[in-house]
Amino acid sequence: MGIRFNHSNSFITEHEYKYMENQIRIAHKMLHDRTAQGSEFTGWLDLSLHFDHDEYHRLLMKAEEIRNNADYLIVIGIGGSYLGARAVIEALNHSFYNLIEDDKRSAPKILFAGNNLSGKYLSDLFEIIKDKEVYVNVISKSGTTTEPAIAFRFFKKFMEDKYGKEGAKKRIIATTDKSRGSLKELANINGYETFVIPDDIGGRYSVLTPVGLLPIAVSNINTDEILKGAFQAEEIYTNENLFDNECYMYAASRQILNRKGKDIEILTNYEPSLSFVSEWWKQLYGESEGKDKKGIYPASVNFTTDLHSMGQWIQDGKRNIFETNLIIKELNKDLTIGYEDMDLDKLNYLSGKTVSYVNEKAFEGTLEAHVKGDVPNLVIELDRLDEYNMGSLIYFFEKACAISGYIQGINPFDQPGVEMYKKNMFKLLGKPE
């Protein structure tokens, strides 16, 4: 695997890990035997065994059609219905993917809607695409989640006004429940092509299903390699022995630190393209663990940028935090710093060095400083940022989250608290019972 986990700066001793061995075995058995709460939503655990290859082939054909005929793909969804896809697309593509000239980009621009309730955002989006060729992928299990449902109502009208009902139905794709729900019913009535959100996989664990795979494939990322990395991770991380399973070591480290009063985990990265990986990770862990008045609060920072804002707090603030550093060992692009005769910026001592080398030393210096500041640090290192390792990382985080949740004594697959704001909002809006 291209993933390594390092806990040498965690302040955790070996005997503390040994105390966790039995808890890990129990959590492993609960997860794999599907005997614990939420087991009906663990289809992601062994996805390779029941992966629908026929649907996947159809998905790749649809992605090719979109690439050949669209200027824009609009992905409508919220939470797990868009974060995973956006994380992968932004991590693996050009940093300025949507700004590349059309004749130099092998896929349509991809924009996201239905993840907020901003009329300004939607109005601005329609201004951008009004004279362009557009496909829409609406993603919702039920079809009634407020944010994407409102957005899709507008986009359905936009597409029908632009292409007519017959033309619109060929350009609207619904990723939804296999047989029920209002979006599935609407798709049947209007003749939209549909892809299935499996019944046994919840939204925040769904990036390796059509929920994430279709938008990712449209952006011309190799989804075969993503799945290969995930499926091999699935095999490797089945070992119930804590010291032989780095995924479980990460889960155990989190719980040991939490029991020591470290109730905030900060995911740090040193590459701007990973910022939405952090957003996906925050939803995965926040929605999975934050219940029953328990849970580690997931936060994130983008270094070195945030060293000039949040760095002070992390270095000298309240000691209820630990950091998990997501580090990429090798990048596919880099620049070398040149030599200036006048050296007014005092950078000649770096001439001949790459920017990545400077970034690496920034990480090492920050790690040393924060550890001296009594902040436990964990490190997850990827050999390189590519499709295979991204698939592996997605599975690594998903399984560690499930194990961590069971160790805490919570169901990591439901989200009862999310319903409270909806109930209050619907009451204030006067929604009929």
Sheet of strand 172-176: strand arrangement:
109-113, 72-76, 134-139, 172-176, 193-196
Residues assigned a catalytic role? 287, 422
Domain architecture of the chain: domains with CATH? 3-36+226-412 (3.40.50.10490), 47-221 (3.40.50.10490)
Contact assessment for residue 402 and residue 42, using Cβ atoms and an 8 Å cutoff: yes
Res 334: pLDDT: 94
**259-273 mean pLDDT:** 97
**Side chain identity, residue 260:** K
Mean pLDDT, rounded, of the chain: 95
**378-403 mean pLDDT:** 97
**Hey, which residues does 194 pair with through a beta bridge?**
174
374 φ/ψ sector (left φ>0, alpha ψ -120 to 50, else beta)? left
Question: 100-137, pLDDT tens digit by residue?
Answer: 998 888 899 999 999 999 999 999 999 999 999 999 99
**Is pLDDT above 90 for 35?**
yes
**3 state SS of 265:** strand
Res 197: pLDDT: 96
Question: Residue with structure tokens 């050949």?
Answer: 68
**Distance set, CA 163 to CA 78, 118, 183, 190, 255 (Å):** 26, 25, 20, 14, 54
**Is pLDDT above 90 for 229?**
yes
Interhelix angle 387-408/83-92, rounded to 10 degrees, is: 140
Quote the pTM value: 0.95
**Is pLDDT above 90 for 75?**
yes
Alpha carbon distance 299, 141 (integer Å): 27
**Side chain identity, residue 21:** E
